[in-house]
A and B are shown apart, each in its own frame.
Chain A
Amino acid sequence: AQKVTQAQTEISVVEKEDVTLDCVYETRDTTYYLFWYKQPPSGELVFLIRRNSFDEQNEISGRYSWNFQKSTSSFNFTITASQVVDSAVYFCALTVASGTYKYIFGTGTRLKVLA
């Protein structure tokens, strides 16, 4: 069975601080895909990134970066120089290339960036 754990329920930082959101996943499949979504206060879910299990390269997109480590089954998300607009709930998700086609979501991490 697949599982995604986001142990940090809520994080508060002051603007311009860096912050890392943790995501630990479990799967026995060798081919799988990991995702991050952002849910701002307005409620919609915004896709941020998709990573497959064969690509361990870290990715950077502006102030966002992702660190994928198969050795620790983690796919962590770092926001550099956080801004108030980054305040949201962030979800990590996992799906595998075979089976039931379900996405397994973590419980989310609420990030509050204070001015």
Chain B
Amino acid sequence: DSGVTQTPKHLITATGQRVTLRCSPRSGDLSVYWYQQSLDQGLQFLIQYYNGEERAKGNILERFSAQQFPDLHSELNLSSLELGDSALYFCASSVAEGRNTQYFGPGTRLTVL
């Protein structure tokens, strides 16, 4: 158990809908990262927050947004969902940024029908 929690574990929804994925980092970790892993694909970095501030953006679509709250938990919002958004979404946390080890949550499996 990495100490990073993600909810829900599974999510099934329809095209055009909006969903919110939630992540709670390990105790003491200030940085949160979001990744998308599509079927048979590698890990695509989406976005990173540090202590409430956005710090880095990767291949995140405009339909997706995220934020980190004062209690350090983070939410990833996915809107106008398409079939291709079906994937495993991981959250990771680290103490600070850059060189620190990232510990991953169990992931949220999103299925868009």
User: Which residues of B are at the interface with A, using a C-beta cutoff of 8 A?
Assistant: 2, 31, 33, 42-43, 45, 48, 50, 55-56, 58, 88, 90, 92, 97-99, 101-107, 109
* Contact, CB under 8 Å: B56 / A101: yes
Report the Cα distance A102→B48, complex, angstroms. 8
The interface residues of chain B lying within 8 Å CB-to-CB of A37 are 104
Known: A100-B56, A101-B55, A106-B42. A47 touches B103 (CB 8 A): yes
* Contact, CB under 8 Å: B42 / A107: yes
Give chain A's interface residue range (CB within 8 Å of chain B): 20 to 34
* Contact, CB under 8 Å: B104 / A44: yes
Cβ contacts A to B, 24 pairs, < 8 Å: A33-B99, A37-B104, A43-B88, A43-B106, A43-B107, A44-B104, A44-B106, A46-B2, A47-B101, A47-B102, A47-B103, A95-B98, A95-B99, A97-B98, A98-B98, A99-B98, A100-B55, A101-B56, A101-B97, A102-B45, A102-B48, A102-B56, A103-B33, A103-B45
How does the 8 Å CB contact mask read for A87-115 relative to B, with 1 for contact and 0 for none? 00001000111111111011110000000
Known: A33-B99, A44-B107. A108 touches B42 (CB 8 A): yes
Most B C-beta atoms less than 10 A away, residue of A35, A43, A45, A107: A45
8 Å CB contact of A105 from B43, B88, B107: B43
The interface residues of chain B lying within 8 Å CB-to-CB of A106 are 42
The interface residues of chain A lying within 8 Å CB-to-CB of B92 are 45
Report the Cα distance A44→B90, complex, angstroms. 9
8 Å CB contact of B101 from A50, A102, A105, A108: A50
* Contact, CB under 8 Å: A45 / B90: yes
User: Which residues of A are at the interface with B, using a C-beta cutoff of 8 A?
Assistant: 31, 33, 35, 37, 43-47, 50, 52, 91, 95-103, 105-108
* Contact, CB under 8 Å: A47 / B45: no
The interface residues of chain A lying within 8 Å CB-to-CB of B109 are 43
Report the Cα distance A101→B30, complex, angstroms. 13
Closest to B106 in A: A44
Tell me how far the C-beta of B43 lies from the nearest C-beta in chain A, rounded to whole angstroms.
4
